[in-house]
């Protein structure tokens, strides 16, 4: 009996999480955050839960007070209303109470914001992302030959040529032609700007969301804890194709990153294909394990 229940649960889990097995991306009917892939995102997830411990009791208290007032002081039960206009004790309570609650929220919130926007000293890699109408371009600060490329929405007609027929790993409207590739467990400093209008660089699993403003260089960072293929989107309405400029980051082992970087200097397309050949199997295993752990 128990085994049967587990089997049903497992089948249900497959239905719910199955589509996310190959990449970190939004899933149908999702109401929670994507699984965290960085320490910052773990803190964000914690902070969200922590905030709910304040929001839910306060909402219930206000609801309770409203119901109480509606019932107890309705005209039928209370025909002559009170004319009270001041009550010092109540006024002190409703001022000091919220101030204390806000302090409990503000302190961890500002600590988290500071951590997000303070890159650790000596990052292992610096990548610059530039928002364009309507695609992202990337520059790697590496040695004397800086690598730069554009990353555009993957078109259906290009899937076969790029070896990206698998729609679970390369979902429609999220997959791109050239992913950003970074090594796992390494600190990546991210410089974000824009070439035309304001865009925003957002990667939910990393807890990264930062405006891309023309003429301004915004700085953030991430350290991805697990290998995989991660999807995000432009998050500032930037024109008619705003919905069609996704962000894709492939996190791989250091030696695979090194090989990719060396090959990408001469032929990015071939470097990407070689990397996909060596990682796509690994990506699946890692993310299936991550989803099973939920
Ligand atoms: Cu945009």
CATH number at residue 83: 1.10.287.90
Calculate how far, in angstroms, residue 227's C-alpha sits from the geometric centre of ligand 1: 26
- Given pLDDT bands bounded at 50, 70 and 90, which one contains residue 119? confident
Distance 257 CA to ligand 1 centre (A): 28
What is the DSSP code string of 214-234?
BT--EEEEE---S-EEEEEEE
For the chain, what is the domain count?
2
Question: What mean pLDDT comes out for the span 259-267?
Answer: 90
Distance 128 CA to ligand 1 centre (A): 16
What was the pLDDT predicted at 111?
A: 96
Indicate whether 248 belongs to any domain. Answer: yes
For the segment 128-152, what is each residue's pLDDT rounded down to a tens digit? 999 999 999 999 988 777 899 999 9
In a domain, 54, yes or no: yes
Please indicate, yes or no, whether residues 232 and 275 belong to a single structural domain of this protein: yes
pLDDT band at 188 (very low <50, low <70, confident <90, very high): very high
Mean pLDDT, range 250-263, rounded to an integer: 93
Nearest to 246 by CA among 24, 43, 66: 24
43-57, 204-218, 254-268: range with lowest mean pLDDT: 254-268
**Within a domain: residue 228?**
yes
Expressed as residue numbers, the domain containing 252 is 125-292
pLDDT for 204 equals 94
263 in the same domain as 247: yes
Choosing from 117, 152, 183, the residue where a domain stops is: 117
Confidence bin at 13 (pLDDT 50/70/90): very low
Helix/strand/coil for 234 = strand
Global pTM value = 0.80
The answer to whether residues 159 and 204 belong to one domain is yes
Say which CATH number the domain at 218 has: 2.60.40.420
Residues flanking ion ligand 1, Cβ below 5 Å: 199, 234, 238, 242
CA neighbor of 134 nearest in space, from 238, 62, 223: 238
Is the domain of 275 the same as that of 130?
yes
For residue 7, list its beta bridge partners: none
Residue-wise pLDDT for 83-98, tens only, equals 989 999 999 999 999 9
Ligand 1 center to 273 CA (angstroms): 27
Supply the pLDDT for residue 282. Answer: 52
Interior/surface letters 71-103, b for 16+ CB within 10 angstroms, e for the rest? eeeeeeeeeeeeeeeeeeeeeeeeeeeeeeeee
Residues 179 and 234 in one domain: yes
Q: Ligand 1 centroid to 151 CA: how many Å?
A: 13
209 CA distance to ligand 1 centroid (A)?
A: 12
The per-residue pLDDT for 23 is: 65
Query: Is residue 257 situated within a structural domain?
Result: yes
């Amino acid at each position: 009996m128990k085994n049967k229940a587990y089997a049903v649960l497992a089948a249900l889990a497959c239905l719910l999480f199955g589509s996310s097995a190959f990449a970190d991306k939004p899933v149908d009917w999702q109401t929670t955050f994507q699984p965290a892939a960085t320490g910052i995102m773990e803190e964000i997830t914690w902070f969200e839960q922590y905030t709910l411990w304040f929001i839910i009791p306060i909402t219930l208290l206000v609801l309770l007070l409203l119901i109480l007032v509606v019932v107890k002081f309705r005209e039928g039960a209370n025909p002559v209303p009170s004319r009270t206009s001041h009550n010092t004790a109540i006024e002190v309570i409703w001022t000091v109470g919220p101030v204390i609650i806000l302090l409990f929220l503000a302190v961890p919130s500002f600590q988290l914001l500071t951590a997000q926007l303070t890159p650790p000293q000596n990052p292992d890699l610096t990548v610059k992302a530039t928002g364009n109408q309507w695609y992202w371009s990337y520059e790697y600060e590496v040695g004397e030959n800086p690598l730069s490329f554009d990353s555009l929405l993957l078109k259906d007609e290009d899937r076969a040529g790029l070896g990206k027929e698998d729609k679970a790993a390369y979902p429609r409207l999220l997959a791109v032609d050239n992913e950003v590739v970074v090594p796992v467990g390494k600190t990546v400093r991210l410089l974000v700007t824009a070439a035309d209008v304001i865009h925003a660089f957002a990667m939910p699993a990393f807890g990264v969301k930062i405006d891309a403003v023309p003429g301004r260089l915004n700085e953030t960072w991430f350290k991805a804890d697990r290998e995989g293929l991660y999807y995000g989107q432009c998050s500032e309405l930037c024109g008619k194709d705003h919905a069609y400029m996704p962000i894709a980051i492939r996190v791989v082992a250091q030696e695979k990153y090194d090989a990719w970087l060396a090959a990408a200097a001469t032929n990015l397309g071939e470097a990407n294909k070689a990397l996909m050949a060596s990682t796509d199997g690994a990506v699946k295993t890692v993310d299936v394990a991550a989803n099973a752990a939920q």
